[in-house]
Structure 1
Amino acid sequence: MLHRVEHVMGFPVSLRVDDEHVPESAADAVFAWLREVDARFSPFKEDSEVSRYDRGELSAADLSADLREILDLCEHYRIATGGAFDVRLPGRRLDPCAVVKGWSVQRAAELLAAAGATRFVLNAGGDVVAAGGPWRVGVRHPEHADKLCTVLSLDGGAVATSARYERGDHIVDGRTGDAATGLLSLTVVAPTLTEADSVATAAFAMGPEGVDWAASLEGCEVFAVDAGRRVLRTPGFPAAA
């Protein structure tokens, strides 16, 4: 069994692999990839590809295939949310982190699968991609750090949460330019972490209407707590018994 925890991209990433035949080099590859992603796509690193593109030092034709894919995903969710999700807010630097995190961790999970892992869980700052479950995943209470508001059973796929409790009102509704405050937290279960993480952030930016929007997407299940502390849950949300 492999077990490793490292601090990457500004948050702890923990990996557990229960397959005995998977080599330590698989974990090495996961964390090397995540460090590469941080170097290439962080808007907070002046020499990253994202920062250089934002400053106009790179043209669209100069971009890597990976960054083009990320920006295409960002544009997809901008259009799908009517502009609520926008990585190009006026007066701010280009910041695709809401897509990069889930996309990169999903890629890391694919590296594990390619190395022969069939039962694993990869937890990146509370967002989880897993295989070979069931795994029990707790969702932090939006107002009490020492409590959970729900526990779900994840056989495979991914779960991501967007909330105000870690970084305050950091998610902005691109339609208004104001902080998104209509929800306290929103959790999405989806087939991949690319989708779960992007949809969770995009829906949170939309506010309460984002719950129905996320729930309408194929393969997505939602658990949310709104500003009035009401719990909103789709019928298929995989709550643990």
Structure 2
Amino acid sequence: MTTHSIRLYQQPASEYAPALIAFFNFDNYFQNNDSDIKNYPLWNTDSLAQLKAQSGAELLIGITDSADLARQAVTTKPDVVDAVIQCDADDFDALLALFEIALVRGEMRGHLFDVRALMQSGLQFLFIQAQVKGKQQPQRAIQASHKVVRRLAKQGVAPSQVTEYLLVMESAPRWRLEELSLVTQIVEQDLSERVNYIYCTNSDRTHSAEKNHRFWIGAVYAIKPSDQR
């Protein structure tokens, strides 16, 4: 495997460019392989298997903005799909950026083995992001951490439902160890049980980033059903 790209494939095609992680819109998955919709091609089990094989992807991940669909996908997704992540439609690009930082360009990256184990755990997944701008580095990290925690609760997810998570931080113009320590402390304190996690970080040193002085957090949570102890 020589490619290091993270790609979102829009619709079935005759050929697929290589990728490390392949994403597709799970809303466009049609379970009947005999589907004959000409004007709006949908994914089916065969085309998804072809996508994973031709792209050489280590993981094939569906994205949906529907909580119900993400929950149902735990048992209804085809075996060739490793996971389905609930993500707001406006955040699809941010989700891809999270995996790119975590596995490709981050200064502190995760291991593919660990990310694969997380994505193949057979649980429901939820992506949440938060961003704060400002030059006060400790304060912006604290604010972004609390935003991520609050948005998890707004999705109706209790801390006890989170079993694992992948959390990525990107700071401009550069991240500091102090920020990493603050984020991990705040996020871990919110979870009522000890869970497995993967932390990754990156510095954004582009010209625009220098002017914006932003701090971004993205997290993919693995969630067990609320009635499961």
Q: Same fold (TM over 0.5)?
A: no
TM normalised by structure 1 equals 0.25
TM-score normalised by length of structure 2: 0.25
Pick the structure with more helix per residue: 2
Higher relative contact order (CA 8 A, sep 6+): 2
